[in-house]
Amino acid sequence: VAAAAAAQTNPAKAPKVAFVNMADAIVATTDGQNANKAMEAEFGPRKVKLDENQRALAELQSRLQQDDLTDDARQKLSKEVDDQIILLNLETEQDDADLDQAQKKMLAGLGKKMMGVIIDYAAAKGYVMVFDTSSSQAPLLWADNATDITSEVIAAYESKYKGAAAK
């Protein structure tokens, strides 16, 4: 009876659980912002070129709609439009694949560093579990904002790495 009474007065402490939006945390760090700027510098000119090619294609398509073209001219222009569409699609697919690969590489490198920070932070603060909420596939239905440690993790990352360039 004494043991039961002691158990009621000293209930087991509930484990601490936290949530972090890892994607937002990575992007919000100085390293993440620097990596994003580097990707913009690399892929920005490609996007400009694709936009220019898209405008040129639209111009060709507009000329194709004009009534003053001969059948021969219309046929040649139609082939040119078709060829430009194929080239533009190939360029777009390649640029998208290159960008996706660069993003994955950046996230892998920074993700490892961020995971170390999250593990250290969680251990220091007594959390037994930390869930990533950056994926829309996460089964999180509701969480109190007090359990979101994203900003604390960003601060811990910045403190540990002081904005060192991502490698």
Give tens-digit pLDDT for 100-120.
999 999 888 999 999 999 999
Above 60 in pLDDT, residue 4? no
Q: Provide the sign of the torsion angle of the four alpha carbons 21, 119, 158, 17, taken in this order.
A: positive
More confident residue, 147 or 144: 147
Residues with Cβ within 8 Å of residue 135, at least 6 apart in sequence: none
Above 60 in pLDDT, residue 43? yes
Per-residue confidence at 59, pLDDT binned at 50, 70, 90?
A: very high
Above 90 in pLDDT, residue 126? yes
DSSP helix/strand/coil, 132: strand
If you average pLDDT over every residue of the chain, what do you get?
87
